[in-house]
Structure 1
Amino acid sequence: MTQGSATPLPAPKERRRLREARALTQAELASRLGVSRSTVRSWETGRTTPRGRKLEAYVRLLGVGTTLSDDAVSGRQEGSVPALVGAGAPPPSRENRASEDRTADGAEPAEHADRGAVDRDRDRPGGEGEWGDADQDSAVREPSLTPAQAFDALYAFAAPALVRQTYLLTGRRELARESVERAFQLAWYRWPEVAVDRDPAGWVRATAYEYALSPWHRLRPRYRHPEAPPAGGSERALLDVLLTLPPVYRRTLLLYDGVGLGLPETAAETEASTPAAANRVLHAREAVAARLPELALPEDLHRRLTELGSAERLRAAKPRTVRHHGEHRARQWTRAAIAFTVLLIGVTALTLRTAPDHYEAPLSPPETIHGLPPRSAPGPLSAEELVLRAKLRSQTSSGPERLIPDIR
């Protein structure tokens, strides 16, 4: 929630001095905040600035004492899209990562934290950082995780909040669970690619949103009828307003006002330009404020979205179950592909065996011809014809001489 007091965030050099004064390395600070070591390095060099609850935790660990207001954190100019509060708490540590952490206002931690579960810089040897600056804490190495452990950590951190977000996107509880499970199954199938992604949680979130918003679900019998609305009147009204928005506007509003992504990140995930994403956010806010005037402020809208998602008891499956179902589905598709290939090879071989190897001209079908005179047979020979036939036979049988007509 928005803080009343605003204490400026120290300068980048001062942030590093305060961290060293508290005897904290970059790796230790990143582990406590649930972000990557490169993220802390970018904060201390001034390339990026934390926001929301990440900012509050960062300021507390530096020992400043108080936190910034959201308007001071965002750094947005007056007249642009208003800033939003952060939507997630730091990810859980390895000791309690499997359990669900709840924030002070009852909201679940969002999955958009900076690569909290899978750190691509975890096993990188010491030397220069991502931008060429030397990493003085590269000697601190975190224990490596197996692919299954890294997947389980990502699932335990991102899945609970992602199920609630997908429910706000679709208004269907079962579809939200199914979308998240399918997204994580695909992530486990393509884990070598997802593990090195800059934002694995964002990769899974985009996949779940795409599956949940697929128009083919309306043809499935189980999703033809609407589900029961929330019990509370205010939650029901907010969900009805969200579902009346176009899917692309609903998704943009949820990412920006619900999840708390920045405008460039929201535009990139929705495959739109930054001005287009800003216009979608403004139009979606106007539509919500027209139906619910008490949600005209972005802070109130974010709070209500968090309360609406937390009001539903949406539980995600166990990570081991998701991995098992994903592997089983992959085996089924592999067997189906092999069977189809074998069938195709068999049909091709049979066709080559039975197909003709030369051209045969087609025979025209017989036709009956009408109007011809009947065929006449020769009649009996006369006496003169018989004598002539006998003469011809007797003269031609003895030699090749030709008969000369008698002119007499």
Structure 2
Amino acid sequence: MTGSQWRELGAFVETYSGPGEPVAVKDLIDVAGQTVRNGTPGLGHRVATADATVWARLRAAGHVAMGRTTVPELAWSCRTPGCANPWDPRRDAGGSSGGSAVAVAIGAAPVALGTDTGGSIRVPAALCGVAGLRPTHGSVPMDGITPLSPSMDTVGPIALTARECLRIHGLLTGETAGIRPVGGLRVGRPASLWGDNADPEVLRLVEEAAGTLRAAGVEIVDVELPLARRHARGTGYTVLLFESARQWWAEYEKHPDGLAGRAIGQLRAGSRVSTSDYEQARKLAREIRGEVDAAFDTVDALLLPTVPVTAAPLDADTVQVNGRTEDVEAAYYRLTALAAVTGHPALSVPAGLTAAGLPAGAQLIGRRGQEGLVCSLGEAIEDGPAARELARARRRTR
């Protein structure tokens, strides 16, 4: 793919070059001497005087920042304006790390850094047919990264494979974890989280991923997460609204020209969330975390779709899910909210291509600190026939 082609897909806002292994960097992360724009006309712009810790660690390992990737305003969206899906440029790439996912999917960068608050690494990774790792909350330093909702903000890698995501994660944390055999593991399938409220083609591919794990010696068992089913999405959204407004609303009121899009309405709504509602949401988050921790007494990980639909058309505000109309952003966020609320590590890996030729992702959630386990399960899924066919198709289209 030529430089002009990936610029047309909206992957980069600015490019750099230098010796070393290239990494594309989401435009929220400080790289010394570079301008951070946060996807806004002016709010939060800064010239970084030092590297964010995550970038300092990658630089020390021999990586070089090759470009800043496109992001929606303040990362407040599961869609990335101006960023098209490499499998069908008429469709969405997801967000907010959409530019990072596109850069990897088209081969412009072998690895990219993204951030994930409600699903911003995993959603675009799933829609663009690559792997993306949301690490355990608090395991990777967040200094030098524009905050949105500190109790949920994380930073992590997007790459072609789970193994490469784990390698980069090890550089970010300074802790090494390797891929391990998965035979004998038990993986929970919390099907009540989605029921029939998902695209049948997405469910088919996730079921194929489960079959691949079974063939590798993994036991798949049903688990129930009733609190998560009722409250994870709403709880995460309330926390995100409240904390983002506390970060940015007063600054926006001082500089109203600093934002121009959807983030204005989200920050305004967040400024109206009461402290008592926020505290109740945080209490629910702790209870949901406890429910998931209890599930991990009997299973090693959870398997679910990353996104219950495939990429929506760029101009669509809604999607149809089994005859139901749903807001695109709500649909994208519905199943990534769980790990965002609980703080557990979550990986999205390509599960395969639908009959329409669009990628779908399988999401794996593990115990806190068990990135190595979820990436091992992810690599096992990548070895399945549907995921291998997606990888072959991706190579053909580059």
Both proteins in one fold, TM over 0.5? no
Larger helix proportion of the pair: 1
Higher strand share: 2
TM-score, structure 1 normalization: 0.28
